[in-house]
Amino acid sequence: MDTVHASLTTPRTPAGEHPPQDERLPAIELLGVEKLFHSHGSTTTAVGGVDLEIGEGEFFSLLGPSGCGKTTTLRMIGGFDQPTAGRILLYGQDVVGVPPNRRDVNMVFQSYALFPHLSVFENIAYGLRRKGVPSAERSRRVAQMLELVQLEAKSDQRPRELSGGQQQRVALARALVNRPRALLLDEPLAALDLKLRQAMQLELKRIQREVGITFVFVTHDQNEALTLSDRLAVMNAGQVEQAGRPREVYEHPQTRFVAGFIGTSNLLSRRVRAIDGTTAVLEAGPDERLVVPGADLAQARVGDVLDLTVRPEKISILRVPATDPSACVLRGTVTEVVYLGTATQYAVAVTASGDRTGSAGSSDLIVFRQNAADATDVAARGDDVWLSWRPEHSLALRPGPSAASGSDPAASPVQGESDGAQQR
Amino acid sequence: MNARLGARLAPYWLALPGWLWLLVFFVIPIVVMLSLSTQTGDILTGFSQTWHWQNYVNGWNEFSTEFLRSLLYGLIATVLCIGIGFPVAYWIAFYGGNHKSSLLFLLLLPFFVSFVIRTQSWNFILADDGMVLSPLKNAGLVSPEFHILSTPVAVIGGLTYNFLPFMVLPIYVALERIEPALLEASSDLYASRAASLRRVVLPLSMPGVFAGVLLTFVPASSDFVNATILGGTNTTMIGNVIQTEYFTNLDYPVAAALSFILMGGLLIGVFAYARTLGTGDILDMAAAS
Ligand SMILES: Nc1ncnc2c1ncn2[C@@H]1O[C@H](COP(=O)(O)OP(=O)(O)OP(=O)(O)O)[C@@H](O)[C@H]1O
Ligand SMILES: [Mg+2]
């Protein structure tokens, strides 16, 4: 298991996608970090062996479901919890055991934790006062921050007199004014309503660009993570399943969990019928073709069951067989058509051809089709259709470090056999 | 129309028992006492209302030492209660873990014993030949004349001991309400533990200290049990004087006048304290410092 996620957490992106900052010393490094909690005689593994590298100036997100250890990881970077094992380096320096007030990182708490007895101005000035910054400079820097978060008018008010979004901005300013080398944010937008959250996301991104400080951002909202981050790590059950750029994680999920957690994902489990070099041919019906390219398949053998995923927007939905002989092709019946405005979503029941083995029925694949100017309604409910996609969009999945935990958001509902999908 | 009027009057009807209670147990006795305080006469021939305000002047002239002593003792006991009670409340609130309730119960346990018995047992402990002093005297560590009973130390000590829980409980409640994340935030913003204590914990505990001061100072200043049991002739408090005037000298008008002087003094003190240190102002002061 260790070897698996070691390779997962040092992602290799296609050359040329790295901005120059990746070459510098990482701002934050986690090496085999583990955190156990003991309470009432039982032990919880909140974080179980995490390796991460966060570059300077990066907007880095920790994404994962509730209880997966995001907050615990962040608190260990901030110094509020000490790891049970492993090392945490800030700019190459081991900081395990160093208390929060001596670490050059600041935290934005989920509850904001603004001091209720201090004005907005004094809340922001708090860190500068403790560091003994002279009063003239202090006032100037606080005023600058108030301007950055657009709260000049609220300077003398108490936190309880502010709205949620304003409190959130004070919390941000209170941390940023200290010019930390990294800012840790624990679901800072979770308490805001949707509209305000979207506005604050843009605001956060703008501020991060302006100040150029490394942001480590915890969220369980995949859209937030994908839109804001330079890079992100998907966590599950205390482990990092995959880390990389949003595009890379979205388009090349490496585990079932990641495929299911990020975006809408189609999941197929089929037996390997043949392996040809680095391409596996999977079982499929007559007129169908299912191939998976990929070097990771080296270990797969004929007869093994392989999990693969295809993103809904990569699939074409056609009334006639695809012309490209190398494409993956499946046949199915449309079970649902949902108009989404800019796109239409089709649910298509495909027959798993593993029927012989008695292991599979049929499952729905989701297909997105852009409603472009020339788009027509290709299919209606009940129509027989052909689905096709380029072989490189078939992604083989590894079970992932947490496969045993049974949390599997990717599992799509298995439906009864659909007669529309019978072969001719 | 009637229904709406009824709805608007509802709060007053609901408050009626409260008003009745105040009337019967507070307003009527106070009016009776006020009337008594300006009467003249004696217990054999009976008292009659003569609007003799001189009772107040005489009372003050005769017993001003006891008045001032009472306020001083009350003040010292209150300060000592803060000094002892704050660390206790702090420790229970922040280090009590799962045992906070048990610890509070232990703190209150001695107070299930009657006030008088509790104070009397201090008399035994501190007696000239009691369990503390006699071994010390036998060992020659203190002089044979040395005594604690009948000194201000004994009375103030007794007051401090007896009113301590009234200080600890409100401070505990205020500390308990401080969100732990605030202390983490303070530490994150470069504050040492001492700085967090001074800048966050202290200001936020002020409402509790404020309540504790009122709950301690008022009853301590008017107490008479501690001075009776632990004190001597030089530690007489105004509570003792009132008691003597009332039960021994049977001079009801003077006792009543003294009570009102004490009440007035305490009210003025409390209002002055609330004006300068009202909860809102405390927070402002903390912000400015
Ligand atoms: N102080 C603690 N004592 C015991 N267990 C803890 C403690 N803090 C966290 N845990 C456990 O560690 C695990 C991870 O918790 P953590 O708070 O890091 O999750 P999270 O990913 O931040 O979840 P959420 O999105 O709900 O905030 C959980 O199972 C939690 O119960
Ligand atoms: Mg959390």
Crossing angle of helices B152-176 and B54-95, in 10° steps, is: 50
Average pLDDT over residues B4-14: 80
pLDDT tens digits for B19-59? 999 999 999 999 999 999 999 888 888 888 888 899 999 99
Side-chain half-sphere of A250: how many Cα atoms within 13 Å? Answer: 16
Average pLDDT over residues A109-117: 92
> Which residue type, as a one-letter code, is found at position A392?
E
Residues A363 and A219 in one domain: no
Neighbours of A35 (CB within 10 A): 23
Query: How far is the C-alpha of B182 from the C-alpha of A114, rounded, in Å?
Result: 7
Atom of ligand 1 nearest to the CA of A39: 4
**Residue B116 CB-density burial (10 A; 0-12 exposed, 13-18 middle, 19+ buried):** exposed
pLDDT of residue A80: 93
pLDDT of residue B85: 95
Does residue A424 belong to any structural domain of this protein?
no
Strands A266-276 and A239-244: unpaired
Contact A96, A28 (CB under 8 A): no
Size of interface A-B (CB pairs under 8 A): 63
A100 touches chain B (CB under 8 A): yes
pLDDT of residue A340: 84
Highest mean pLDDT among A369-373, A390-394, B82-86, B147-151: B82-86
Percent pLDDT > 70 in chain B is: 94
What lies within 8 Å, CB to CB, of B125 at 6+ separation is B131, B132
Neighbours of A323 (CB within 10 A): 8
Residues A145 and A225 in one domain: yes
Q: Is A111 helix (H, G, I), strand (E, B) or coil?
A: coil
ipTM of this complex: 0.78
Residue B239: closest CA among B37, B74, B125? B74
Q: How far is CA B184 from the centre of its chain?
A: 35
Residue A323: DSSP 8-state: S
Distances in Å between the alpha carbon of A394 and those of A8, A268, A282, A291, A390?
19, 10, 11, 7, 7
pLDDT of residue A296: 61
Residue A359: closest CA among A304, A293, A397? A304
The ligand whose atoms approach the alpha carbon of A220 most closely is 1
Q: Is the pLDDT of residue B145 over 90?
A: no
Q: What is the largest CA-CA distance in chain A?
A: 83
Average pLDDT over residues A232-241: 92
Residues A190 and A263 in one domain: no
Closest residue by CA, ligand 1 atom 12: A46
A37 C-alpha to ligand 2 centroid (Å): 15
* Ligand 1 binding residues, C-beta < 6 A: A 37, 39, 44, 46, 64, 66-72, 220
CATH 3.30.930.10 fits B53-288, yes or no: no
Residues A214 and A324 in one domain: no
Q: Is A356 helix (H, G, I), strand (E, B) or coil?
A: helix
The sign of the dihedral angle between the CA atoms of B6, B9, B14, B16 is negative
Q: How confident is the model at residue A319 (pLDDT cuts 50, 70, 90)?
A: confident
What is the residue-wise DSSP string for A234-245? EEETTEEEEEE-
Q: Is the pLDDT of residue A408 over 60?
A: no
Q: How far is CA B178 from the centre of its chain?
A: 26
Q: Per 3-state DSSP, what percentage of chain A is helix, strand, and coil (rounded to 5)?
A: 30, 30, 40
pLDDT of residue A410: 41
Query: How far is the C-alpha of A332 from the C-alpha of A317, rounded, in Å?
Result: 10
Contact A259, A309 (CB under 8 A): yes
Which of these ranges, A34-38, A249-253, A369-373, has the smallest mean pLDDT?
Answer: A369-373
Residues A401 and A289 in one domain: yes
Residues A240 and A272 in one domain: no
Question: Is B190 in contact with A101 (Cβ distance < 8 A)?
Answer: yes
Of the two residues A196 and A413, the one the predictor is more confident about is A196
Q: Locate tokens 């209302």: which residue?
A: B49
**Residue A151 CB-density burial (10 A; 0-12 exposed, 13-18 middle, 19+ buried):** buried
Show the CA angle centred on residue A261, arms to residues A257 and A262, nearest 5°: 120
Residue A334: closest CA among A378, A370, A290? A378
Q: At A183, which CATH number?
A: 3.40.50.300
Residue A262: closest CA among A309, A196, A301? A309
Contact A147, A163 (CB under 8 A): no
Q: Is B87 helix (H, G, I), strand (E, B) or coil?
A: helix
Residues A381 and A267 in one domain: yes
Nearest-CB residue to B188 (from A78, A111, A119): A78
Does residue A423 belong to any structural domain of this protein?
no
Q: How far is CA A415 from the centre of its chain?
A: 28
Show the CA angle centred on residue B44, arms to residues B40 and B45, nearest 5°: 55
pLDDT tens digits for B154-212? 999 999 999 999 999 999 999 999 999 999 999 999 999 999 999 999 999 998 998 99
pLDDT of residue A124: 96
Question: Is B188 in contact with A119 (Cβ distance < 8 A)?
Answer: no
A43 touches chain B (CB under 8 A): no
Residue count of chain A, please give it: 424
Does residue A35 belong to any structural domain of this protein?
yes
Q: Is the pLDDT of residue B109 over 50?
A: yes
* Mean of the per-residue pLDDT values of chain B: 88
Query: How far is the C-alpha of B289 from the C-alpha of B286, rounded, in Å?
Result: 5
pLDDT of residue A23: 52
Written as six digits, the tokens of B269 are 């003190």
The sign of the dihedral angle between the CA atoms of A153, A158, A161, A164 is positive
Query: How far is the C-alpha of B282 from the C-alpha of B202, rounded, in Å?
Result: 10
Does residue A126 belong to any structural domain of this protein?
yes
Which of these ranges, A178-187, A281-290, B149-158, has the smallest mean pLDDT?
Answer: A281-290
pLDDT of residue A420: 34
Contact A36, A44 (CB under 8 A): yes
pLDDT of residue B209: 92
Q: Ligand 1, from A45, A50, A61, A70: best to mutate by most atoms within 8 Å of Cβ?
A: A70
Written as six digits, the tokens of B266 are 């305490």
Show the CA angle centred on residue A96, arms to residues A91 and A99, nearest 5°: 95
Residues A228 and A295 in one domain: no
pLDDT of residue A401: 54
Question: Is A126 in contact with B189 (Cβ distance < 8 A)?
Answer: yes
Written as six digits, the tokens of A229 are 């981050």
Residues A175 and A79 in one domain: yes
* Mean of the per-residue pLDDT values of chain A: 81
Which of these ranges, A116-130, A168-182, A324-338, B23-37, has the smallest mean pLDDT?
Answer: A324-338
Residues A317 and A173 in one domain: no
Contact B191, B106 (CB under 8 A): no
Strands A59-63 and A214-219: parallel
Q: Which value, to the nearest 10 degrees, does the dihedral of the CA atoms of residues B18, B22, B28, B31 take?
A: -140
Does residue A173 belong to any structural domain of this protein?
yes
Name the residue range of residue A199's domain. 2-248
Q: Is the pLDDT of residue B127 over 70?
A: yes
Q: At A314, which CATH number?
A: 2.40.50.100
Residues A243 and A261 in one domain: no
Contact A386, A318 (CB under 8 A): yes
Residues A93 and A238 in one domain: yes
Residue A185: closest CA among A61, A91, A30, A65? A61
Percent pLDDT > 70 in chain A is: 83
Q: Locate tokens 């079982």: which residue?
A: A283
Q: How confident is the model at residue A417 (pLDDT cuts 50, 70, 90)?
A: very low
pLDDT of residue B105: 93
Q: Is the pLDDT of residue A393 over 60?
A: yes
**Structural domain boundaries in chain B:** 53-288
Helices (H), A102-188: 120-130, 135-148, 164-176
